[in-house]
A and B are shown apart, each in its own frame.
Chain A
Amino acid sequence: MNLRRDVFQAIADPTRRAILLLVAAQSMTAGAIAANFDTARPTVSKHLQILTECELLQQEQHGREIYYHFNAKKMKEVADFIEPFRKMWDDRFNKLEAVMKKYKTKK
């Protein structure tokens, strides 16, 4: 299972990003979330399912209602995903700098 990939697919969709923004402000039931969108209820349910599967949302039972919570920890992981790419370029440029310093002293 490629969970990581699912997270990126999940946030690539504009409706799902809108759902995350909504739920980040306040935990909500599926019905309350769906009320914010023109899309059909089953479509919103499908989005909620995907967001829950990749752990960006968590479900919590309150009596007969299920509330969706935003999982900030998971989102942080996604926000940090650019760091290895930055590190790769940083290493490359550090090498460039080290190499060129030799040229400087040779002058």
Chain B
Amino acid sequence: MERKTKIHAEEGRQDLVITREFDLPLDLLFRAYAEPEIVEQWMGTNVLKLENKQHGGYRFETRDGKGNVVFSANGAIHEFVPEKRITRTFEMENAPFGIQLEFLEFEPLSEDTSRLIMQIVYRSAAAREEQLKLPFSYGINMAHDRLEQVVSKLR
């Protein structure tokens, strides 16, 4: 069974929807978001704070081998309904992307499968485009670097 992550981003809008079906029962899918030590494993970051409640907050931080912080993010939790919904903000620290609002809906599909629907709202359509472009530009740079390597070998 193909488990593709789908992105629905209508042109000109300031939000997008990410949908993913998991080969996991609903309770396990939700635990992946609720338990700090599990979040750390799949997000690959340290969880400094994770208050799963209304008016709660969270903070993630990743350090390199030398102890330098390479990624940090935080947000406020607005809704936390176990095995159903998380509504929260997300802000990458020391980055020019601004704050986004995230609506996470968790749904059971069968006893062993579940679905996550994540709507992300950005401040503007332009801000959304910047976020979408980020991995794209990165990929282009990678391709460019590879091309340069190949070309330099030809010389």
Contact A84 B135 (CB under 8 A): yes
Total A-B pairs, Cβ < 8 A: 75
Question: Out of A86, A92, A104, which one reaches B6, CB within 8 Å?
Answer: A86
Please determine whether B132 and A89 come into contact, CB atoms closer than 8 angstroms.
no
Nearest CB of B to A74, in Å:
14
Please determine whether A96 and B134 come into contact, CB atoms closer than 8 angstroms: no
Residue from B3, B42, B43, B131 having most chain A Cβ neighbours under 10 A = B42
Label chain A's interface by main secondary structure: helix
Q: How far is the CB of A24 from chain B (nearest CB, A)?
A: 15
Q: How far is A55 from B44 in the complex, measured between Cα atoms in Å?
A: 40
Asked if A99 meets B41 with Cβ closer than 8 Å, knowing A89-B5, A104-B28, the reply is yes
A84: chain B residues at CB < 8 Å are: 135-136, 138-139
Chain B, residues 127-145, CB within 8 Å of chain A (1/0): the string is: 0010111111111100000
Q: Does B81 contact A (CB under 8 A)?
A: no
Complex Cα gap A50–B63 (Å): 43
- Within the complex, the shortest CB–CB distance from A102 to chain B, in Å, comes to 9
Please list the residues of chain B having a beta carbon within 8 angstroms of any beta carbon in chain A: 3-7, 9, 18, 20, 22-25, 28-29, 31-32, 38, 41-44, 116, 126, 129, 131-140
Q: Which residues of A contact B (CB under 8 A)?
A: 4, 8, 12, 81-90, 92-101, 103-104
